Amino acid sequence: MSVTRASAAHAHDSGEAAVVSTTGQDVEEREERSAEEVTPEAEEVVPEAEEITPEEEAPSGGTGRFARWRRVLAGALAVLLVAAGAALFVRGQQIRDTPANANRALTDTAGTDRVTADVSSALTTVFSYAPGTTAATKTAAQRLLAGAALKQYAALFGQVEKQAADQKLTLTTHVVRVGVVRLTGDSAHLLVFMDQVYEREGKAATSAPAQLSVTAHQRDDVWQIVDITSR
């Protein structure tokens, strides 16, 4: 019998309170049993958080509203695209129908050359004369001019004819440059630059530039000057 058991028996026989003495082996066994006892809270394992996608997070009602809004926005975008296309089409038509687009001076080289030649020849003829050629110049003007231009010329040429006879005046006109500003159908607007040389008998010749704005109409395949404005 060990010392522990003998002490306990002696204490029991003597009637005193029993004092239990433990050995080192008993302490180790108790510690092992305490380590094996695990509380329910310690055994509980917290589940890992699962990744939640936006579709799973939103309730079914929210997902439905999002889908409806997406359809509405897609429809509105389609309407805007159609409207923008229509606006561009209308704008394109307006650009094609502008007066500048109808101006053949920008595209019709042959027509531009023809009106330039006819107007240049007419101006050279009606603004060139000598003391003995005024009658021929007046006759040519009636053929080359029309409308307001012919009336203006006829009103002034009477004075010119008299001066040419009295002062022995000779006028020679050279067309330097012609710009066709507008050419549409049978109407043309031109800007003409000229040099004019004046000669009086017994005096030195003098020259002066002139700039005219001319409107011409085509009649019987010939361009006639219908308006002349000095610039």
For 50-75, how does the pLDDT look when each residue is reduced to its tens digit (9 = 90+)? 554 444 444 455 566 667 767 777 77
Question: What pLDDT is stored for residue 21 in this prediction?
Answer: 43
pTM assigned to the model: 0.57
Give a yes or no: residue 123 inside a domain: yes
Which residue has 């003995």 as its token pair? 132
Short-list 173, 165, 167, CA closest to 207: 173
Question: What pLDDT is stored for residue 75 in this prediction?
Answer: 73
Could you tell me if 139 and 216 lie in one domain? yes
Which tokens sit at 212? 């005219």
The total number of structural domains that make up the chain: 2
Mean pLDDT throughout 9-15? 42
Domain range for 210: 104-230
For 185-198, how does the pLDDT look when each residue is reduced to its tens digit (9 = 90+)? 899 999 999 999 99
Return the DSSP state at 129: B
Give CA–CA dist 177/143, Å, rounded.
23
Give a yes or no: residue 91 inside a domain: no
Could you tell me if 201 and 109 lie in one domain? yes
Give a yes or no: residue 180 inside a domain: yes
Could you tell me if 135 and 215 lie in one domain? yes
Could you tell me if 25 and 115 lie in one domain? no
Give a yes or no: residue 156 inside a domain: yes
Could you tell me if 30 and 112 lie in one domain? no
Give CA–CA dist 69/76, Å, rounded.
10
Q: What is the CATH number of the domain that holds 155?
A: 3.10.450.230
Could you tell me if 115 and 224 lie in one domain? yes
Give CA–CA dist 125/105, Å, rounded.
25
Query: Residue 131: phi, psi to the nearest 5?
Result: -55, -30
Give a yes or no: residue 119 inside a domain: yes
Q: Which residues contact 8 (CB under 8 A, 6 or more apart)?
A: 18, 20
